[in-house]
Amino acid sequence: MLVLGVESSCDEMAAAVVRGRDVLSSVVHGQADVHAPYGGVVPELASRDHTRCVYTVAARALEEASVAPDQLDGVAVTAGPGLVGSLLVGLSFGKALAYRLGVPVVGVHHLIGHLVAAELEAPDLRPPYVGLVISGGHTALYRVAPQGAPQLLGQTRDDAVGEAFDKVAVLLGLPYPGGPAVSRAAEAGDPEAIAFPRPLAERAGFDFSYSGLKTAVALEVERRTPLAEADVADVAASFEAAATGVLVAKARAALASEGLGQLAVVGGVAANRRLRSEMARAACEDGFRVVFPPAALCTDNAAMIAAAGSRLLERGEAHGLDLNSFSRVPIGATPWTSPPGE
């Protein structure tokens, strides 16, 4: 089954063509230059830019896969969660294309897409496993079961971990997007220079909290201002150690309490090098398997959406043209036309 995926939940417009688990093309158009002057995503600017480039991005994905539109068997689009204005662009395009081609369209939950990215990387990874979803909007642990929706074990009570990286980058005067910039600055710093708090790390349960850590960084930055290059490096490294340390501790605890031996770490923050090496070390010590998608499949992309949608379509699940987009939606919610709470 040849499926075109379209993803536009935040500030990336992406399109990809997959055949089952084979990714034939994956095109991502980022907007870092659009949002850099503001230090964060401006929703209105994001959706306008999506409108400008959705057609070209999809056309490039088809061209790079050497697939003509009429060869497609279906279209998969991210239906939520995300910025509604952004989501609507990809969703409307996907529905229109499917209608024109006479093929089914299916809405995909963005976080299911992120989890499927791990299964694209490791085809032998089969549920049950623990999924750690860490991005600019989400920090959550799931038990991914062979059947049914992933079960939420815990999530952030305030900021997402990626959001904390982005805010710390602003505090340190580092360029947007913040995650990779903080990570680069951290390479020259001492991760033990400052003992930042690791909120909830030692507590039972699987909830996270990142706003206190962000405040601690703000206070430290204030104390050290004017910042020398070495200050920036040490604060970045110590923040990164605290932020990723909590993720490792909670993932370990979740695996132990669920009695599972496999962990998938997905979402933009899964691209973080320190997290990868610390988690790999924990995996060695505790004897669990950890799967990280390659960096290009960690951050937002459409290959994961196409692959997740392809599974739904293979099971005969498709949506009507009344498929809608939603800013917030539980991971198990279907159908997309009337999720609970909207």
CB 8 within 8 A of CB 90: yes
The two structure tokens encoding residue 335: 């159908």
Q: How many residues bind Zn ion (CB under 5 A)?
A: 2
Task: Please answer whether residues 101 and 30 qualify as being in contact, where contact means their C-beta atoms are separated by less than 8 angstroms.
Answer: no
Taking the least distance from each CB to ligand KG4, the nearer of 238 and 299 is: 299
Q: Which is nearer to ligand KG4, 18 or 269 (CB)?
A: 269
Least distance from ligand KG4 to the Cβ atom of residue 107, Å: 16
Asked if residue 135 binds Zn ion (CB under 5 A), the reply is yes
Residue 324 near which of ligand KG4, Zn ion, none (CB within 5-8 Å, type-dependent): none
Kindly state whether residue 86 participates in binding Zn ion, applying the rule CB under 5 A: no
The residue (of 182 and 253) whose beta carbon lies closer to ligand KG4 is 182
CB of 199 to ligand KG4, least distance (A): 17
Question: If you write DSSP's letter for every residue of 244-309 in order, what string do you get?
Answer: HHHHHHHHHHHHHHHT--EEEEESGGGG-HHHHHHHHHHHHHHT-EEE---HHHHSS-SHHHHHHH
CA distance 61 to 14: 9
Number of H helices, E strands in the chain: 11, 10
CB of 240 to ligand KG4, least distance (A): 8
The distance of closest approach from Cβ of residue 11 to Zn ion in the complex, given in angstroms and rounded to an integer, is 10
Burial level of 151, CB count in 10 A (0-12/13-18/19+)? Answer: middle
- Choose among Zn ion, ligand KG4, none what residue 310 binds, the Cβ cut-off being 5 to 8 Å by kind: none
What are 313's two structure tokens?
């379509």
Comparison of 156 and 299: residue with beta carbon closer to ligand KG4:
299
Q: Which is nearer to ligand KG4, 72 or 274 (CB)?
A: 274
| Closer CB to Zn ion, 41 or 62, in the complex | 41
Residues that bind ligand KG4 (CB under 6 A): 10, 135-137, 162-163, 165-166, 177-180, 183, 267-269, 271-272, 299-300
Q: Which element (helix H / strand E) includes 179?
A: helix 178-186
Instruction: Tell me the C-alpha distance between 262 and 311, whole Å.
Output: 21
CB of 81 to ligand KG4, least distance (A): 9
Which residues ranging from 282 to 311 are in contact with Zn ion (CB under 5 A)?
A: 300
Smallest separation, CB 118 to ligand KG4 (Å): 13
Radius of gyration of the chain (CA): 20
Residues forming the site for Zn ion (CB under 5 A): 135, 300
